[in-house]
Structure formats: structure tokens, C-alpha cells
Structure 1
Amino acid sequence: MGDDNVAADQLRLFIERIERLEEEKKGMADDIKDVYLEAKATGFVPATMKTIVRLRKMEKDARDEMDALVETYRNALGLH
């Protein structure tokens, strides 16, 4: 029975840690949203900023490949 209590305590501690981290994650997401709203209020376009953030996370080779594909698709569709 003692092992069951230890396992239950461990599980509870894991769950509580996850819950705290989820709350921190929500707080961070709210902070990020606030920054985008602040940027929008000064005239920047949040959707474009989100694209730039995503691009900056990418490796240069992956970004170059994506740029080439987008350009190919744009040309194919006559979007110059």
C-alpha cells in the first residue's frame, strides 16, 4: 500500500507542476498578445510581424527553400 501512496504523491506533484507551467504559459501568451497590440497601436501589422518571427526561427536553408517555392507558386499563378 505504501508504494501506491508514493506513486499517487508523485503523480500529484507532476500534475501540479504541469498546471503551474500551463498557467505560466498562459501568462506568457497574454504578454505576447499585449506586445502585438502595442505594436499595432503604433502602426505595425501584427500578422506580418508574426510571419517575421516565424521566419527568424527557421534555419537559413529552410527559409531560402520556402522563399524559392513561394516565388515559384506566385509566378505560376501570375502574382507578380
Structure 2
Amino acid sequence: MADGSANMETMAEGSGGVAAERLRSFIERVERLEEDKAAIMEDIKEVFAEAKGEGYDVKILRQVIRIRKMDRAERQEQEAILDLYLSALGE
């Protein structure tokens, strides 16, 4: 119990203790990754804009990307269910 309370005291002090530095390290890493993520999202947006400029349907491109991420069996199951529903509706 003494070890746990000592760690809590170090964190509570926040005066440059090991726990405070470790916490700062985690926060700064996440902040850098968030910046990277924003940059990547902007790059993706630009690629879709370029594709749209060349006449591609961005909505369909996004759907193709989503489908390609799926496991083959999962995709086949979803397609079968979709066909069943459409058939039930007379489509």
C-alpha cells in the first residue's frame, strides 16, 4: 500500500517528479500524433479532390475502400444479406 500512495504523491506533487514527466511525455506524444493525423486527413482530402477533378465518384471510391478493408467472408455475407433484402422488396 505504501508504494501505491508514494506514486500518487509523486503525481499529485507535479513538481517535476518522474510520474509528472511520464505523464507529460504521453500527452506530448498524443499531441504530435494528433497533428500527424490532421496532416494525413488533409492529404486524403486532397487525393479525393484530385480524383473528383478527374471525374471519379468520390462516394463510390470511399465505398470501394471500405469494402477492400473487409474480410472476404464478411463481405460475401453482407452481399448475400443485401441480395436477400432486395429480393424481398422485389428489386
1:69 to partner: Cα distance: 0.8
SS class of match (1:17): helix
Q: Does 1:16 align with 2:22?
A: no
The structure with more radius of gyration: 2
Q: Pick from 41, 47, 54: which aligns with 2:53?
A: 41
- TM-score when normalising by structure 1: 0.90
1:45 to partner: Cα distance: 0.5
Where in structure 2 are there 5+ consecutive unaligned residues? 1-5, 12-16
Quote the RMSD (CA, aligned, Å). Answer: 1.6
1:77 to partner: Cα distance: 2.0
1:14 partner letter:
F
- Quote the residue 2:3 is aligned against: none
Query: How is 1:1-80 mapped onto 2 (pairs within 5 angstroms)?
Result: 3-4=10-11, 5-79=17-91
1:52 partner letter:
V
Identity score, percent: 44
Structure 1 outlier segments of 4+, above 2 Å: none
Where in structure 1 are there 5+ consecutive unaligned residues? none
1:74 to partner: Cα distance: 1.4
